[in-house]
Amino acid sequence: MRKLYLFFFVLSLFALAPAGARARQTAAAQQRLIGEVTAVDAAAHTVTVRSDAGQTVTLSTTEQTTYTRLAPGVTDLKQGEKVTFEAVRVGDRVLAPGVAAAGGTAARLIVMARPGGGGGGQNAGRRLNGRVVSVDAAKKLIVVQTRGREGQESATVDVSAARVLHYAPDSMRPADAVPASLADVHAGDNIRATGERSAGGSAFKAEEVLTGSFARFTGTVAGVDAQRNEVTVKNEASGGTVRLTLGARSTLRRMTPEVEQKLAEQRAEFQRQREQRRAERQQQGGQQGQGQGQAQGQGEGGRGRRGDGQGRGGFGGPGGGGGGNFQQMFEGLPTVTLADLKKGDMVMVTVTPSADASSGTVVSLITGTPEVLRSMQQFGGGRGGDGPRGMSPGLPGDVIGNGQGPTREPPR
């Protein structure tokens, strides 16, 4: 009887005493942090968020944190994809249920990419992508060349209150970036800034800047040193050799016959459309007066150029630009190891060059048929290429794909 009395006594305490605690739990459940990801620290597993209230807070995650990614416009969590911490990107919208406005540890993160995210240019809102023209360390200003509606434009980026990051030598993923300073930013570097743009668009107040310098070239394998984790490649353009080191995140892939055939078909279609537009312009010029014909021909030419890189006229075929389509194909290619490479193999490499340009670190390496790799290099939108912008194998479109091309000459 005494045990039964004690049981009911404890039960009554549990029912009465936790009333305040239950109220706090209810209030906590109603809390949620909503904002935009401005930084991701992979080492610390933290996410910096600029909340919709205008505050910059830090979200911590644990091994028990769950992540759900929603496609732009989707609100049903059942349609979300279960992902990992590595899927969280700068620029994503994020919802952290149960986290106060001041930040804290998130048990769950719901992330959504902005519609049309990943691109750059003058209409990217809080994102600016381009190439560094000059750096004024004293004034903490960076002049950036970016692509706008009217072609190349300049913007002055104020980094006085910005967090500065630098791409890791063997990766172009923002999550792998490392802390840096303004002294690490140089003219010619690619830059990706997050912040607030002025009304006129010529000034940008940065909260975070991410910079790096890359090169892409084709060549043949001259030697493999498995012990040093290095491969020596003879640059096809210059004839010189460059010693390349593989990092922990370097990717090595092999082209498949199916992908090579698809790329060949896309290139043929691109060339056919280009010839068709040229013939149409010539025909218009012959049928109409010189002045009117030139004006209409220029207008048609402008529409054709937009088609070259985007939409139906793009290298990637109907319904999308070539860069996104190729990137998906690239991710699906089979991986290889250093031991699979043989002397004489044709490769296309994307690297972070060293200071003396005689060596570098591999970001990505693709081996395959020489003709296909050469056409990929030519039509990759890089320096000297006549292909559509956005097709940058192994290079994220928001880094290189905005018509900026590789920012340093390939190692020689």
| Whole-number pLDDT of residue 254 | 94
Report how far residue 305's alpha carbon sits from residue 297's, in angstroms, rounded to the nearest whole number: 12
CB 192 within 8 A of CB 207: no
> What angle is formed at CA 324 by the lines to CA 71 and CA 121, rounded to 5 degrees?
85
How confident is the model over 177-236, as pLDDT tens digits? 899 999 999 999 999 999 988 877 789 999 999 999 999 999 999 999 999 999 999 999
pLDDT in tens, 356-404: 778 999 999 999 999 888 877 765 544 333 333 333 333 433 333 333 3
Residue 261 pLDDT > 60: yes
Evaluated on CA atoms 42, 115, 155, 131, the torsion sign reads positive
* Token pair for 372: 């296909």
What's the pLDDT score for residue 288?
58
Q: What pLDDT does residue 175 have? A: 81
Instruction: Work out whether the CA dihedral 350, 169, 109, 82 comes out positive or negative.
Output: positive
Per the DSSP assignment, residues forming a β-bridge with 365 are 252, 349
Which is higher by pLDDT, 286 or 138?
Answer: 138
- Beta-carbon contacts of 326 under 8 Å, excluding residues fewer than 6 positions away, are 263, 316, 391, 393
Q: In this structure, are residues 350 and 215 in contact, taking their beta carbons and an 8 Å threshold?
A: yes
Q: What is the pTM of this model?
A: 0.57
**Side chain identity at 258, as an amino acid letter?**
E
With vertex at residue 163, the alpha carbon angle to CA 58 and CA 118, rounded to the nearest 5 degrees, is 85
- The confidence band for 102, taking pLDDT boundaries of 50, 70 and 90, is confident
Give mean pLDDT, residues 33-50: 87
> Could you give the CA distance from residue 135 to residue 142 in angstroms, rounded to a whole number?
5
Question: Confidence band (pLDDT; 50, 70, 90) for 93?
Answer: confident
Of these ranges, 53-67, 71-85, 285-299, 385-399, the one predicted with the greatest mean pLDDT is: 53-67
In this prediction, what percent of the chain has a pLDDT beyond 90?
Answer: 35
- Ranked by mean pLDDT, the top range of 6-10, 116-120, 132-136, 192-196 is 132-136
For tokens 């091309």, what's the residue? 405
Q: Pick 137 or 6 by higher pLDDT.
A: 137
pLDDT given for residue 289 in this prediction? 52
More confident: 240 or 10:
240
The residue with greater pLDDT, 231 or 73, is: 231
pLDDT at 287: 62
Q: pLDDT: is 124 or 178 the higher one? A: 178
pLDDT beyond 90 at 168? yes
pLDDT at 150: 65
Dump pLDDT digits (tens) for 274-286: 888 888 888 877 6
Burial of 83 (0-12, 13-18, 19+ CB in 10 A): middle
Phi, psi angles (nearest 5°) of residue 109 = -125, 130
Span 312-344, pLDDT tens digits: 333 233 333 344 456 667 778 899 999 999 999
SS3 sequence of the chain: CHHHHHHHHHHHHHHHCCHHHHHHHHHHHHCEEEEEEEEEECCCCEEEEEECCCCEEEEECCCCCEEEEECCCCCCHHHCEEECHHHCCCCCEEEEECCCCCCEECCEEEEECCCCCCCCCCCCCCEEEEEEEEEECCCCEEEEEEEECCEEEEEEEECCCCEEEECCCCCCCHHHCEECCHHHCCCCCEEEEEEEECCCCCEEEEEEEEEECCEEEEEEEEEEECCCCEEEEEECCCCCEEEEEEEEEEEEEECCHHHHHHHHHHHHHHHHHHHHHHHHHHHHHHHCCHHHHHHHHHHHHHHHHHHHHCHHHCCCCCCCCHHHHHHHHHHHCCECCHHHCCCCCEEEEEEEECCCCCEEEEEEEEECCHHHHHHHHHCCCCCCCCCCCCCCCCCCCCCCCCCCCCCCCCCC
Closest CA to 349 of 260, 222, 261, 187: 222
Strand 359-367 versus strand 141-148 pairing type: unpaired
Could you tell me the pLDDT band of residue 17, with boundaries at 50, 70 and 90? Answer: very low
Quote the pLDDT of residue 376. 78
Nearest partner of 277 among 293, 300, 311, judged by Cα: 300
Residue 23 is predicted with a pLDDT of 45
Alpha carbon distance 48, 50 (integer Å): 7
Please give the single-letter amino acid code of residue 122: Q
Residues 286-307: tens digit of each pLDDT: 665 555 544 444 444 444 333 3
User: Residues 378, 326, 234, 406: what is their CA dihedral angle, to the nearest 10 degrees?
Assistant: 70
* Closest to 293 measured CA to CA, from 284, 301, 283, 303: 284
Instruction: Examine the pLDDT at 120 and tell me if it is beyond 80.
Output: no
Q: What is the pLDDT of residue 205?
A: 93
Q: Cα angle at 345 between 341 and 348, to 5 degrees?
A: 95
| Mean pLDDT for the chain overall | 75
